[in-house]
Amino acid sequence: MSLIRQIWCLVLGAVLASVLGGVAVSTWSLRELLQTQAQLKNADNANALALALSQQKGDAELMSLLISAQFDAGAYESVRWRDGGGAQVFERHLETPQVAHAPRWFVALLPLEVAPGVAKVSDGWKAVGEIELRGQTGYVHEALWRATLSTASWLLLVGLVTGVAAAVVLARLRRPLDTAVRQAEGVTQGRFETVLEPRVPEMRKLTSAMNTMVVRTRQMFEAQAEQLRTLHHQLLCDELTGLSHRRQFVAELNSALERDDGPLRAGLVLLRLKDLQGLNQRLGHGATDQALVAIAQALRVYPEQVRGCLAGRLNGSDFALWLPAPNVVGDTAQALADALRAGLQNLGAGVGVALGAVELMRDQPMSAWFAAADAALAKAEQGEGVVLELREAPPSDEVAQGERAWRALISDALAQQRSRLLEFPLIGRERQVLHLECPLQLKLNPVGEFEPAARWLPLALRHRLSAEADLQALALALQATQQDQRARCVNVAPATLNDGSFIARARELVQAAPASARRAIGLELAEPAAVQHFETLQELGRQLRPLGVQLGLEHAGAGLAQIDRLFQAGLDYVKLDSSVVSGVSADVARAAFVRSLVVMLRSLSLKVYAEGVTDALDAQALWDCELDGITGPWASAQEIKP
């Protein structure tokens, strides 16, 4: 029970006890008073009747008539007349006692013990007997009941006013407590907010302590993020240029080629500073380093401005630039060559750079990409100065068939629900399935085969059909989960969040499903969604998380340490990209970086998973880093526990 409820119970209990106690004391006191008054009345009536009887000179008939007349006229219960010897001469009783207009339980609870009035009857100086008179008590109970009701009503009114006053006071006390709770919840979600201190001294101390804790936690988090950025630079970047080194660039490129949401065609540019050893001898190491830094600065512009671009230094003289978009490699390579001509001319005429640029279908293996780019680079090396050799891919099926035809194929497949979900397990340390990753496949041709998302998703993104595809994947996942109660997650493209109706339609789908199915469904978005659509991502969490849906971030990498607002998005878990976890078993520094990421994310109550794991040694190293789950080819090949 909450503190406020306990205080409420205490206040209500005190008010109720006061009301009941006040009514009980008042009723008991009034009962004693009325009982005493009834006894006095009996005594007075008996004395008055005895005085009247004493005037009858001992005439028994007259005395009997007088007693009967008095009994009939008064509210008496009984009257007795005894002679001087104690023998009863005359007696009258009320056949039907007066019924009090009070509940029986009240009469039984508060019985009245009223003694009868007794008086001596005399004839001059001679005693002729005594009279005993007992009045009716029904009216006494009735008066007592009315007085009790009146007292209870007034005390309840006072209690009600007291309760309202207590509610106002508790509301004022509760506001700083609620603020402290919101502060604490904000810290768990990465929101470090300070609030104004209230006037109440005790609450002021609590709020001051909370503000101090929030400030210190924010400082610790910022220091941890800065350490991660430093560790990332030392581990994954070339020391001189700041670009990714060869191993990291290859891992990032391999991850980009394996994703479903990339373009059908992309470009790769290889750059080589010619005759590196000769430049060191002629110009010196300082000037040569300036040339290398100039090339890196020209390349760094693209990853900073275009999402998905990759740049790296492959070795001493070679650099690479990955362009995840069709029909841009030629213009980009030419602009890069022009920038290098302008940037390197102050170093002398002997500085030359060869650029080999190629554009291929993204489904080509990495070896084919580097082979084609190396061939173009080798031809460019034959020239003098800054030389560019460009080799473009032949027209794709999209160009051959036309964009309208592709849009019609995808729209028709979605409309007729020619779709299915694949299932890939995310397993925990005990080889149990935590959830199933469920990418969507479409049968574009009614008589053809189901096509993987890498085949049609880039076109769906271009034609703004990703929201329809993601909603259909969500509906299929809910249906499957309802049948077998297995947890599933589906991908949501960042572009889908641009559709203003997506969140409302997704909420309708989830609400229509049973509660058990809702709690077993997860939605995953790529890391760029936390930057490009942060507010929409927050709204998605506010709408769906109360229904039981989990939100996750996939393809997360070193950028986690650079996204300050990521942890305000209302996420449940993060999946580290394969470019981050690949080779962790053979690289102590990489393992330290992964472990630091896990510590930072765990401090914000996020579960941490690894994706794209292919090697058993890497899997064991990731378990040693305390990850919560692993997915990828290695996980799919494991024997799953029920």
Unique residue bearing structure tokens 């002021």: 204
Whether residue 390 contacts residue 377, with contact meaning beta carbons closer than 8 Å, is answered with no
Separation CA 96–CA 112 (nearest Å) = 18
Task: Please check the confidence at residue 399 and state whether its pLDDT lies above 50.
Answer: no
Task: Please check the confidence at residue 541 and state whether its pLDDT lies above 80.
Answer: yes
Name the residue type at position 261. D
Provide CATH 3.30.450 ranges for the chain: 3-160
Separation CA 577–CA 83 (nearest Å) = 117
- Residue 383 has which token pair? 């020239």
Mean pLDDT computed over 469-478 = 93
Name the residue type at position 530. A
Name the CATH code of domain 3-160 (choices 3.30.70, 3.30.450, 1.10.1760, 2.50.20): 3.30.450
Sign of the dihedral defined by the CA atoms of residues 66, 67, 70, 72, in that order: negative
Averaged confidence pLDDT in the chain: 82
Q: What percent of the chain has pLDDT over 70?
A: 89
Q: What percent of the chain has pLDDT over 90?
A: 19
Q: Any idea which of 198-202, 248-252, 435-439, 462-466 has the lowest mean pLDDT?
A: 198-202
Name the residue type at position 29. S
pLDDT, one tens digit per residue, over 290-321 is: 889 999 999 988 887 777 789 999 988 899 99
Separation CA 510–CA 471 (nearest Å) = 10
pLDDT, one tens digit per residue, over 88-103 is: 877 877 766 655 577 8
pTM: 0.66
Name the residue type at position 632. G
**Residue of 331, 390, 386, 326 lying closest to 358 (CA atoms):** 390
Confidence of residue 524 (pLDDT cuts 50, 70, 90): very high
Q: For residue 585, what is the DSSP state?
A: G
pLDDT of residue 272: 92
The more confidently predicted of residues 239 and 263 is: 239
Separation CA 610–CA 629 (nearest Å) = 6
Half-sphere exposure of 250 (CA within 13 A, CB side): 11
Whether residue 388 contacts residue 382, with contact meaning beta carbons closer than 8 Å, is answered with no
Name the residue type at position 361. M
Separation CA 361–CA 400 (nearest Å) = 14
Q: How many Cβ atoms from other residues are within 10 Å of residue 240's Cβ?
A: 12
Length of the chain: 642
Provide CATH 3.30.70.270 ranges for the chain: 243-394
3-state secondary structure 522-562: EEEEECCHHHHCHHHHHHHHHHHHHHCCEEEEEEECHHHHH
Name the CATH code of domain 243-394 (choices 2.70.170.10, 3.10.580.10, 3.40.50.2300, 3.30.70.270): 3.30.70.270
Task: Please check the confidence at residue 400 and state whether its pLDDT lies above 70.
Answer: no
Q: Any idea which of 1-5, 259-263, 630-634 has the lowest mean pLDDT?
A: 1-5
Separation CA 53–CA 61 (nearest Å) = 11
pLDDT, one tens digit per residue, over 113-128 is: 778 888 887 776 777 7
Separation CA 523–CA 521 (nearest Å) = 7
Half-sphere exposure of 396 (CA within 13 A, CB side): 20
Where are the strands (E) in 447-590, listed by range? 488-492, 521-526, 550-556, 573-576
Confidence of residue 142 (pLDDT cuts 50, 70, 90): confident
Whether residue 255 contacts residue 577, with contact meaning beta carbons closer than 8 Å, is answered with yes
pLDDT, one tens digit per residue, over 574-589 is: 999 888 888 899 888 8
Confidence of residue 629 (pLDDT cuts 50, 70, 90): very high
Separation CA 358–CA 172 (nearest Å) = 68
Q: Any idea which of 55-64, 372-381, 522-531 has the lowest mean pLDDT?
A: 55-64
Sign of the dihedral defined by the CA atoms of residues 272, 274, 280, 282, in that order: negative
**Could you give phi then psi for residue 263, rounded to 5 degrees?**
-75, 160
Between helices 588-602 and 201-236, what is the axis angle to 10°? 160
H/E stretch holding 270: strand 265-273
Q: For residue 392, what is the DSSP state?
A: P
Q: Which of 15-29, 153-167, 267-281 has the highest mean pLDDT?
A: 267-281
Is the domain 406-636 a CATH 3.20.20.450 member? yes
Task: Please check the confidence at residue 17 and state whether its pLDDT lies above 80.
Answer: yes
Confidence of residue 74 (pLDDT cuts 50, 70, 90): low
Provide CATH 3.20.20.450 ranges for the chain: 406-636
**Could you give phi then psi for residue 77, rounded to 5 degrees?**
-95, -35
Separation CA 474–CA 489 (nearest Å) = 8
**Residue of 573, 570, 557 lying closest to 628 (CA atoms):** 573
